[in-house]
Amino acid sequence: MSDYGHDLQFGTFLTPTAADAERVVELAMLTEVAGLDLVTVQDHPYQPRFLDAWALLATILARTTSVRVAPNVANLPLRPPFVLARTVASLDVLSRGRVELGLGAGAFWDAIEAAGGPRRTPGEALAALAEAIGILRATWDTGERSVRQDGEHYRVHGVHPGPAPAHPVEIWLGAIGPRMLALTGRVADGWLPSMSYVPPDTLAERNARIDEAAIAAGRDPAAVRRLYNVNASQGAGQPGLTGGPSDWAEQLAELALTHGMSTFILATDDASTIRRFGDEVAPATRDLVQAARSGARPSTSEQAVTPTAPVVGAASLGASSPGTSSLGTPSLGTPSLGTPSLGTPSLGTSSLGVRPTPDDGVRRSARAAWDEDTRPEPQAGGEGRRWTAHERATAQHLVDVHDHLRGELTQLFDLIDQVEAGSVDAGRARSLINTMAMRQNNWTLGAFCESYCRVVTTHHTIEDTSMFPHLRASDPSLDPVVDRLEEEHHVIAGVLDDVDRALVAVVSEPGGMARLREAVDLLADTMGSHLAYEERVLLEPLARFGFA
């Protein structure tokens, strides 16, 4: 076997435990914060301990911004294919193209039959799966007038297709046996086995069956993405990843280069493991595979890095209520409108090769949240050091997260401008609030503000509960800097509360938009100032010590 050249993707495989439902959603959001690509959950409708897979996936989509989701894998015998197709397409439209479909022929037949589903032999299950794939694709094809299939297991006669998904949804089959592997090669977009059932030493034989079937069907074997549910080793003789993050990266890179596996989905419900998978394992794996594909020798000090930009999700893992701050309240003080010395690189970052985004010094609000002149600076260090690719990627990760936050602030101002542009005068604006168009504008604005506030809270909570304690333990001289950053987080939490209150005023008070703009102006000032300061003082320490 060989590398199929697919781009590498990384995700999580979460247990949909009903007794701890909110934590499952929070782990999905952490998956996004960690820069991973995909969240998947198992689908066992007959299992009372589990949440319904599609209800859970819909909730995850609503609480995140760009991570993709998929069942791992959908239980076809209890999910009629035409209805399943509409569920997938609807969620894909609502999420702007973030749904894929892992699909299985069925297992646990006693439980399926007890829940009202059919009991099928292996041959029947395979035939039903093939029929279902045809119905799924026909239902998504709105260029046809009707969906028709007169199969042995599924009969659809003349129902109209639609809605069409927002993007070409991929169908990944959880195949193990020879006939299922052949079906995967003929019609599927991906193969999704689990390491516990399909150990690495069996991949070559199974990949060969997929490739042979694809070629016989006139397809390029590379048209079938190779996904892999992976797990940490549970002991001697058990298939799984072993060692630390660098060891995991080497093992995953070997699977990609030798067997063409390109999407690695980690089965875990541990928050720290998810963070390390995103912060350390995924970037290092990409570096190794990129170096091998380019023909270069992987180097720990000179290998170029092209980090994957992480996307910060909504809501927080264990967020605490904002406390009081020695910096005062956001409404106190006067803005520092002079030229701040915020555009200079942090100590040691010139050799690091990752530059902080400077604060441009522009202030929109007449208020100031803090006195920037009282900020402590870290001790010098890192100049002349030969930084590894992983160290540079760790520093770049913080800049990428911050750039996402800056970009969303820009969108927030655009939304405010759109609402204001639709008002002839204050009286007319108030009368339009009860119209559908103005309601939609205000809803969009409010939803965006709410999402952004959750994003910031998530980012700061992870820093406060994981990154900051780690930096304190690694270098006690950073204590004053970390203290200041934590205090600024509390102040920003208060500014976000002001935005929430201003949103209420938009629809309930005259001049509500002006109040909202004032609140968002202060939010932009505090975020721009804080993000620039944090990058200036933390890029080099993060490169040295990591996030956690």
Cα separation, 16 vs 10, in Å, equals 19
Side-chain half-sphere of 447: how many Cα atoms within 13 Å?
10
What is the H or E stretch that residue 74 is in?
strand 74-75
Residue 323: the pLDDT is 37
Provide the β-strand partners of residue 264.
Answer: 10, 228
Separation CA 364–CA 530 (nearest Å): 15
Tokens 């190779």 found at: 226
Q: Region of 34 please: left (phi>0), alpha (psi -120 to 50) or beta.
A: alpha
In whole angstroms, give the CA distance from residue 443 to residue 447.
Answer: 6
CB atoms within 10 A of CB 477: 11
CB 37 within 8 A of CB 10: yes
What domains are defined for the chain? 9-294 (3.20.20.30), 349-545 (1.20.120)
Residues in the chain, overall count: 548
pLDDT in tens, the chain (548 residues): 579 999 999 999 999 999 999 899 989 988 988 889 999 999 999 999 999 999 999 999 998 888 999 999 999 999 999 999 999 999 999 999 999 999 999 999 999 999 999 999 999 999 999 999 999 999 999 999 999 999 999 999 989 999 999 999 999 999 999 999 999 999 999 999 999 999 999 999 999 999 999 999 999 999 999 999 999 998 877 899 999 999 999 999 999 999 999 999 999 999 889 989 998 999 999 999 999 998 764 443 333 333 333 333 333 223 333 333 445 433 333 333 333 333 444 555 557 888 888 888 899 999 999 999 999 998 876 666 788 877 888 788 788 878 877 877 786 676 677 667 654 332 332 333 223 222 333 444 444 455 555 555 555 555 555 677 878 888 899 999 999 998 998 898 888 778 767 766 766 677 778 888 898 899 899 989 999 999 999 899 888 887 66
Looking at residue 10, its amino acid is F
Provide the total of helices (H) and of strands (E) in the chain, helices listed first. 17, 11
Query: Which SS3 state, helix, strand or coil, does residue 230 take?
Result: strand
Beta strand spans in 291-435 (E): none
What's the pTM?
0.60
Amino acid letter, residue 294: S
- The span from the CA of 277 to the CA of 262, in Å, is 15
**Terminal-residue alpha carbon distance, the chain:** 37
The encoded tokens of residue 151 equal 């199969």
Residues 6+ positions from 376 with CB-CB distance below 8 Å: 480, 481, 484
Q: Give the model's pLDDT for residue 386.
A: 82
Q: Is 361 helix (H, G, I), strand (E, B) or coil?
A: coil
For Cα atoms 503, 418, 526, give the angle at the middle one, nearest 5 degrees. Answer: 50
Main-chain dihedrals φ then ψ at residue 157, nearest 5 degrees: -130, 100
The total of other beta-carbon atoms located within 10 Å of residue 335's CB is 16
Token digits of residue 323:
């406390």
Whole-number pLDDT of residue 463: 54
